[in-house]
Structure 1
Amino acid sequence: MAAYLLLALAIAAEVTGTVSLKLSEGFSKLTPSLVVVAGYAVAFVALSLVLKMGLPVGVAYAIWAAAGVAAVALIGVLFLGEHISVAMVAGLVLVIGGVVLIELGSAR
């Protein structure tokens, strides 16, 4: 359970870093640029600790990547004025479905 909580922290930090990357406007704004660096640093440290705790790398990375993609896409639509299409929604459903299958396939 602790590994999944730490994985949630890694996801939140990665999403924060990615959204800040957009807000940094090519690293031309200092504060969002610093948040990018800090967000990715926290994300990778937390992810490395998750792996050290024994969560399989395929499962951890699949959850981390899919949750990050879905969250960033949703934040982009809700707060950054980005558009979403039916094809994009279908793609997100496929990504999340793939992660569920990886998780089910790795069950011991």
Structure 2
Amino acid sequence: MMWWLLSGAIVVEVAATLALRASEGGRKKAWLVPVVAGYVVAFALLSATLSEGMAVGVAYGVWAACGVALTAVAGRLLFREPLTWIMALGIATIVGGVLLIETGSAAH
């Protein structure tokens, strides 16, 4: 259950971040409602994930890595932002680091 909660938190947080980008710095006010609501829901789901017993280092690592990767790809697709091979290598490095944290956590 905790992985489903964390997955939901990640998806909602990425959606809120994309809405923030779509708001163009707050100039498009209609986008601010999904931004605020999304972040509130995302943090509530992250809190529920931690309440289910997931280690904070694992939860935050997975949250951050997936958030970075998904936001970068979605930014490329939706807003035509750059996504270079160097950026992709950085994302892969982050994901690799999170996998190491998860593996180390599972050893306990």
Normalised by the length of structure 1, the TM-score is: 0.96
TM-aligned CA deviation for residue 30 of structure 1: 2.2
Aligned to 1:99: 98
- The code of the aligned residue for 1:66 comes to A
Residue identity matched to 2:74 = I
Could you list the structure 1 runs, at least 4 aligned residues long, displaced by more than 2 angstroms after superposition. none
* Counterparts of residues 22-61 of structure 1 (less than 5 Å): 22-61=21-60
In structure 2, the residue matched to 1:69 is: 68
- Following superposition, the deviation at residue 78 of structure 1 comes to 1.3
- Structure 2 residue identity aligned to 1:92: I
Gapped runs of 5+ residues in structure 2?
none
1:63 is displaced (CA, Å) by 0.4
Q: Name 1:7's counterpart in structure 2.
A: 6
Query: Aligned equivalents of 2:30 and 2:52: distance in 1?
Result: 33
Match of 1:16 in 2: 15
Unmatched runs of 5 consecutive residues or more in structure 1: none
Q: Report what 1:86 is aligned to.
A: 85
Shift of 1:37: 0.2
Aligned CA RMSD, in angstroms, stands at 0.8
| Percent of aligned positions that are identical | 47
